[in-house]
């Protein structure tokens, strides 16, 4: 059985290839898998798939893959791929990758929600990130990186429960793991939402970290009521964007 395949460039949102492929050539599921494919002479990583299981693809007779170009550099001139990373990395514990959804370690907390009380610290971090982007960009990479340390527990005290996120997204949480690292994230969770996911850390059911990954425009809307009620701001660190939850949506203050 053949199914229609549509490829979308994650960076631009543009469709760049369409074809028919055998259903059996696709993995049983995309969520939580580190799937790569070559298109022409370029290597891409699958960021999101819709539908994301072979069974659902068979019913729909089509699948849309959102792809991110895998860039390579000369080992003698290795650069950082991002201008900033979070210092407080994800804590790991023993666990099975097969049951978890994966993200790359560098994707950890790059787009997230924080309490509005941290906004001044966020803006101070933006100053350093902007300096890295202005002074240290070398082509598609950076020869220096800003390590963020100002907001180690962005949602501590917000009293946001993981079950509230599951209800807002309409899906159950799954374990979270980091690509290329053993075990799973201790207290970690990942809630899939079509082409995106909400992930983070919960302690005794209370969420202390909540990040977003994938094509998450619609997902942000589902989280608006919670963000407004808890006084949260949406932060895209690499993009230096901080949006405040307002009755009309997320706005630039």
Per-residue pLDDT of 153-168, as tens digits, reads 999 999 999 999 999 9
- 3-state DSSP assignment of residue 187: coil
Q: Kindly indicate the confidence band of residue 82, based on its pLDDT and cuts at 50, 70 and 90.
A: very high
- Rounded to the nearest 5°, which phi and psi values hold at 77? -130, 50
Q: Report whether pLDDT(78) > 90.
A: no
| 136 in a structural domain | yes
pLDDT for residue 75:
53
Same domain, 37 and 129: no
Same domain, 100 and 60: no
pLDDT for residue 27:
86
| 79 in a structural domain | no
Pick from 69, 102, 120: which residue ends a domain?
A: 69
Alpha carbons 102 and 183: distance in angstroms, whole number: 11
Same domain, 128 and 35: no
pLDDT for residue 74:
60
Same domain, 49 and 124: no
Q: Kindly indicate the confidence band of residue 248, based on its pLDDT and cuts at 50, 70 and 90.
A: confident
Number of domains present in the structure of the chain: 2
Same domain, 241 and 140: yes
Q: Can you tell me the mean pLDDT for 170-174? A: 96
pTM above 0.85, yes or no: no
Q: What is the pLDDT of residues 40-61, one digit of tens each?
A: 888 888 988 999 888 999 999 9
Same domain, 65 and 88: no
| 78 in a structural domain | no
Q: Report whether pLDDT(251) > 70.
A: yes
Same domain, 18 and 121: no
Residue 51 preceded by cis peptide, ω within 30: yes
pLDDT for residue 31:
74
| 76 in a structural domain | no
In the chain, where does DSSP find H-type helix? 54-60, 119-135, 162-169, 217-222, 224-230
Q: Can you tell me the mean pLDDT for 71-83? A: 74
User: What are the angstrom distances between the C-alpha of 208 and each of 24, 86, 157, 223?
Assistant: 41, 15, 8, 15
Pick from 22, 40, 69: which residue ends a domain?
A: 69
The residue range of the domain holding 33 is 2-69
Contacts of residue 56, Cβ cutoff 8 Å, sequence gap at least 6: none
User: What are the angstrom distances between the C-alpha of 253 and each of 20, 111, 126, 234, 250?
Assistant: 47, 18, 15, 12, 9
Same domain, 163 and 228: yes
pLDDT for residue 25:
87
Q: Report whether pLDDT(72) > 70.
A: no
């Amino acid at each position: 059985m053949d199914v229609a395949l549509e490829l979308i460039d994650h960076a631009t949102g543009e469709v760049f290839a369409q074809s028919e492929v055998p259903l059996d050539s696709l993995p049983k599921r995309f969520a939580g898998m580190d799937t790569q494919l070559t298109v022409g002479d370029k290597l891409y990583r699958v960021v999101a798939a819709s539908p994301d299981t072979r069974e659902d693809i068979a019913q729909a007779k089509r699948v849309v893959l959102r792809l991110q170009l895998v860039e390579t550099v000369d080992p003698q001139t290795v650069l950082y791929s991002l201008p900033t990373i979070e210092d407080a990395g994800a804590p790991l514990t023993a666990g099975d990758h097969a049951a978890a959804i994966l993200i790359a370690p560098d994707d950890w907390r790059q787009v997230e929600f924080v309490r509005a009380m941290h906004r001044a610290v966020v803006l101070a971090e933006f100053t350093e990130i902007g300096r890295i982007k202005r002074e240290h960009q070398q082509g598609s990479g950076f020869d220096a990186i800003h390590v963020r340390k100002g907001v180690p527990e962005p949602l501590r005290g917000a009293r946001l429960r993981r079950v509230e996120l599951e209800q807002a997204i309409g899906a159950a949480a799954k374990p979270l793991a980091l690509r290329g690292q053993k075990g799973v994230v201790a207290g970690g969770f990942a809630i899939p939402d079509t082409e995106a996911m909400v992930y983070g850390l919960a302690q005794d059911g209370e969420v202390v970290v909540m990040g977003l990954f994938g094509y998450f425009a619609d997902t942000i809307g589902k989280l608006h009521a919670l963000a407004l009620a808890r006084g949260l701001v949406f932060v895209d660190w690499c993009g230096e964007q901080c949006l405040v939850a307002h009755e009309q949506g997320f706005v630039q203050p």
